[in-house]
Structure 1
Amino acid sequence: MDEVPLTEGDQTRHLKIGSKLTEGLRRRLIDFLRSNSDCFAWSHADMLGIDSKIIMHKLQVDPLHQPVRQKRRKFAHERDAIINDEVKSLLGAGFIREVQYPEWLDNFVLILIHPDDQEKTSFMTSRGI
């Protein structure tokens, strides 16, 4: 894999492309990616405004089943710090919100959830629910 800056000279935002491409195909791919650089999301903040009509996960939950409350997994300090940083970023972008009294409790959820199902997809970290 070769790392290619999305903007020539800018090493902060780079892409990985196959190293076995012919020179002509490599150049065309880089040109294409650079001409469409506005389509890339480099952080959660870059993804604000995604319309929930485009993508939203809806749970098919049988109301006859009892809620599941998993035990919190403990992670090594380094991983816990990474998880907490990611949660902070997701909170800041408005992708997740804190809840107080979840019936369902999981260890992680990574997709947009229908508002009716959000309480069923609560997750926990060392910093809380």
Structure 2
Amino acid sequence: MPVIRSYPRRQWEALGRRLDALPEKPKDQQSLKITDGVNSIHAQMQMAREKGYTLNELIEQAAKEGIDVGLNSLRYAMRRMDEKMRIQHKSSRVSDKRSRQTTSSSKTQPPIDNRTGSTVIRDSFSFEIRPDVEDL
């Protein structure tokens, strides 16, 4: 069974003060996870891929710079970046579509239910909502 470690509050507070006093580390000396590193040079990696270089060849280039990255790690990091880019692109298309719908639909009146005389509430992402007035 694992031992739960605990330390006095004064030690944690001392650590907090020590961390507050640390100077800023230069950007070129800061460590990055593989996904963060791929994120920072994603455009260059995509250009190399478009030039015909394989992931293994990109790994060889990374090794020449002293970056030890495995095939699966690089593949995962690039896939995550591609998904992020795709989601951003998709969300910008959806927001553009919504703004076009809003401007075009703002000119028309909302439909009225002829049975109840109530306004029918509906948007592009939901189903029609009618007031329940039959059991009053």
TM range (shorter): under 0.3
Q: Which has the higher helix share?
A: 2
More contact order relative to length (CA 8 Å, sep ≥ 6): 1
More strand by share: 1
Q: Which has the larger radius of gyration?
A: 2
